[in-house]
Structure 1
């Protein structure tokens, strides 16, 4: 005898329990039809419950992972902004390089490296959130040229003139 009445899968908590049961049964190799018969619902309901269970497992996990990765990127980004705001002196052979005025020569290399790293973070974040996905576009290609259009128009004009001529002759 079935555990559940057909079409009556209960409240959300009961439905979650049924989903887990159907999923476990499918992992043990039972067919969806056999699962449905044993539990008292159709094969399609069993398939839907397995699909819901898998989505319940994977979608939240993917979102959690995406959020964790985004948080890591945000922490790295904050550190890099600190580098961009700093000033750096050029060092050669362990000594600060000085201008003729005695001021240290500014080293822009750390700033360029921080900027490049920020760019890589932005690219990674765009990929993480799916902003780089291709956009479907439709292109319509016409195989006629203006010359072809003119020839078609001339043929139409000639056919119209011929039709008028035939009409005059038949009168």
Structure 2
């Protein structure tokens, strides 16, 4: 019996959701691809849309990693720690891109869902890798929490982007 027993259903649900949401993001981008974009708008689109794919991809990766038949938690904990550290670095880049793009002035909600919450989730993921070496049970709950937070962030951001396209951008164009 490993530390991962009991987590199978959780990660099947979370990983499947992340995979489906990645597919939906591609559908949405395809549907709005025909709209004319200036350089600044294209830059903003990449700034605000790409992190959703990254977060969903990380959730899918975590689900696959934790669902694999590991004999011990050491290697997988190191892997999710690396993912967490990579996520922290990525959030720094996202923050910089948000400041530099000129099509849209981010409000507090944008900073919260594109920088603060992802930074917290990735930091928890990285720290839980160290905690797993001492007590796997709580560490696995933190990994699960980080995965759920990233999933909810991606859902929020995707919805925010779609509503912006429908209610704000379409009025500017029309």
Shorter-chain TM-score range:
under 0.3
Higher helix share: 2
**Structure ID, larger Rg:** 1
> 1 or 2 for the larger relative contact order (CA 8 Å, sep ≥6)?
2
| TM-score, normalised by the number of residues in structure 2 | 0.27
TM-score, reference length from structure 1: 0.28
